Amino acid sequence: MSKDSLLREMGAGFAGLLDAVNGLSEEQMSRVWYGDPSTSLRTGWSVRDILAHVAGWHREEMAMLERMARGERPVPESADYTDDDAWNARFAAKWRAASAGDVVAELRASEEAYLAAASRLPEERFEEGRTAQRLVHQGCSEHYREHADEIREWREREGI
């Protein structure tokens, strides 16, 4: 898949995520419903928390893309991403007191900045199996779809 195709796929996935939350009230965005009981760090999340953690990953991965554009390793030697749950909890907690509107604004801004950072990389960085390709496909497109589907299922169960 070409760079342009990947970025279009990312854009479509992002639009799908925004569509999944469209029309939710502040109370609905803040209502706790999401979580995996086997993982305490993701138990007790709301739509706002889900969006905050997506925005957090945008910012984290955007820094990786920027390092790659400078010819550096995407992940500094001191970084450890093996504990996804801890990172997810950190990203959600950072925005816990914010309004849903502020979180959506951050989500939009972080996606725009991520897209700009990805756009600056050359085409070859997006070849199959390369880091930029994996970041955009797994870290964005698949991530958006995963959470959009979960939010839609929740809305259907709740009749929202």
Whole-number average pLDDT of the chain: 91
| Higher-pLDDT residue of 158, 35 | 158
**H-type alpha helices, the chain:** 3-21, 26-30, 47-69, 84-94, 100-119, 131-136, 143-158
Q: What percent of the chain has pLDDT over 90?
A: 78
**pLDDT given at position 89:** 87
Which stretch, 35-44, 98-107, 127-136, has highest mean pLDDT? 98-107
Query: Could you tell me which CATH class the domain 3-17+24-32+39-158 is placed in?
Result: mainly alpha
Stretch 142-160: mean pLDDT: 96
**pLDDT given at position 32:** 92
pTM: 0.91
Q: What are the residue boundaries of the structural domains of the chain, listed by start? A: 3-17+24-32+39-158
**143 pLDDT higher than 60:** yes
What's the pLDDT tens digit per position in 21-42?
Answer: 999 999 999 999 987 655 545 5
Kindly provide the b/e burial profile for residues 34-44, where b requires at least 16 CB atoms within 10 angstroms of the residue's own CB: beeeeeebbee
Q: Is the dihedral of CA 85, 88, 93, 99 positive or negative?
A: negative
